[in-house]
A = this chain, B = another copy of it.
Amino acid sequence: MTATMKSTVDVSNSAVQNLTIGKAINLGLRTAMEADSKVIVLGEDVGKLGGVFRITDGLQKDFGEQRVLDTPLAESGIIGTAVGLAVRGFRPVCEIQFEGFIFPGFDQISSQLAKLHYRTQGKIKVPVVIRVPYGGGIGAVEHHSESPESLFAHVAGLKVVSCSNPVDAYWMIQQAITTDDPVLFFEPKRLYHSGNLKAPVDPSATPDPLFASRVVRTGTAATLVAYGPSVKVALDAATAAEEEGTSLEVIDLRTLSPLDLDPVFESVRRTGRLIAISEAPGESSLTSEIAARVQQECFYSLEAPVLRVTGFDTPYPPTKLEEDYLPDLDRVLHTVDRSLNW
């Protein structure tokens, strides 16, 4: 079974649009802004240009310069003012142009955004969303291809999610915006405009909860867990494996913090094997956490150790080499074999 989202959609519904991930986020943002006048978008080049990826395309034109702000060029400023705007009652949605440029804002994220609610025991809420295009595969120069999500998963007080398909993209961005907690929203940039991933988005559907993982393909021999851009890799691997007679289950993590590992535990108890996939370096990362928790929860079910297919523990290499660096179908299948032959 290939449980893409498409199957459930009524394509005769005229509100249904066939969208890429990029357009789905754009529509999600627009819908959220229409629903609540306190939702504002801010970042570098998000206004007239519509962002370097055009994710905020048209929003400034329609909502004006006070709801879509082309800010000065400084990420601590973007996030720090967003915190203040949230204290005032706004629901800011910040765009960080590329994940590699989130670090000047790290302090505001970890010292204020993550802690204000705890510090004030809920008297102050900071419903800020930080949108972060992330991941590799676009042939870019340095700092444009990284996967820093584990850093934020480690910082208590933040919520971290990542979408992998247009339907989730559309809903998850809206859910993130209505969540009263700060949410780091990681977007798989190389899939933004992927026509292959286009899917009908039905605004009248009932979405899955934001902080829930989802089995996107059922299988029996081993489980693959992935998120964001790696979900496609996992699904492709499962398709390829099926041709060779191996049935793989695929779980889209969706929420990276808090982790929703119950579906993973349940799956591993059936398959006995788990491969966790991520583009980020493996060291002290989200995939480490998954392995740590699964080996504990499923100790007697595991037929092989949890294995990981990740970026290497190096800075992101010159992108002529990114195909080697990034987990791909071959490395996933190779690792499945290792697991099966353990």
Q: Which residues of A contact B (CB under 8 A)?
A: 76, 100, 103-104, 106-107, 110-111, 114-115, 118-119, 142-143, 150-151, 153-157, 257-259, 280-289, 291-293, 295-296, 299, 302, 304-308, 312-315, 342
- Residue in A283, A299, A308 whose Cβ sees the most chain B Cβ within 10 Å: A283
Q: With A115-B142, A156-B312, A288-B288 given, can you name 17 additional A-B contacts, CB distance below 8 Å?
A: A111-B143, A118-B314, A119-B315, A151-B151, A154-B154, A154-B280, A156-B314, A257-B284, A284-B289, A285-B289, A287-B292, A288-B289, A288-B293, A295-B305, A296-B306, A296-B307, A299-B305
- The distance from the CB of A86 to the nearest CB of chain B, in whole angstroms, is 17
Expressed in whole angstroms, the Cα–Cα distance for A193 and B196 within the complex equals 62
Contacts of A292 in B (CB 8 A): 282, 287-289, 291-292, 295, 306, 308
Please tell me if the beta carbons of B118 and A285 are within 8 angstroms of each other in the complex. Answer: no
Query: A297's closest neighbor in chain B, by CB?
Result: B305
Q: How far is the CA of A307 from the CA of B292 in the complex (A)?
A: 8
Stoichiometry, as copies per complex, reads 2
- The distance from the CB of A93 to the nearest CB of chain B, in whole angstroms, is 22
8 pairs of A and B residues whose beta carbons are closest in the complex: A291-B292, A103-B107, A288-B288, A106-B106, A295-B295, A296-B305, A288-B289, A153-B284
Residue pair A281, B156 in contact (C-beta under 8 Å)? yes
Residues of B within 8 A of A258 (CB): 313
Give every chain B residue within 8 A of A315 (Cβ-Cβ).
Answer: 114-115, 118-119, 156-157
Contacts of A286 in B (CB 8 A): 284
Cβ A103 vs Cβ B100 within 8 A: no
Task: Note all chain B residues with C-beta closer than 8 A to A111.
Answer: 100, 103, 143
Min CB–CB distance A273 → chain B (angstroms): 12
Query: What residue of chain B has the Cβ atom nearest to residue A105's Cβ?
Result: B107
How far is A157 from B143 in the complex, measured between Cα atoms in Å?
Answer: 14
Q: Report whether A142 and B119 are in contact in the complex, using a CB–CB cutoff of 8 Å.
A: yes
A281 touches B107 (CB 8 A): no
Output the least CB separation between A262 and chain B (Å): 16
Indicate whether A104 sits within 8 Å of B103 (C-beta atoms), given known contacts A154-B151, A283-B156: no
Q: Please indicate the chain B residues that have their CB under 8 angstroms from the CB of A284 in the complex.
A: 150, 153-154, 257, 284-286, 288-289
Q: Residues of B contacting A106 with CB < 8 Å?
A: 103, 106-107
Contact B153 A283 (CB under 8 A): yes
Residue of B nearest to A308 (CB): B292
Closest residue of chain B to A314 (Cβ to Cβ) is: B156
Report B-chain residues with C-beta under 8 Å of the C-beta of A299: 302, 304-305, 342
**Cβ-defined contact, A306 with B295, below 8 A:** yes
Whole-angstrom distance from the CB of A331 to the nearest CB of chain B? 16
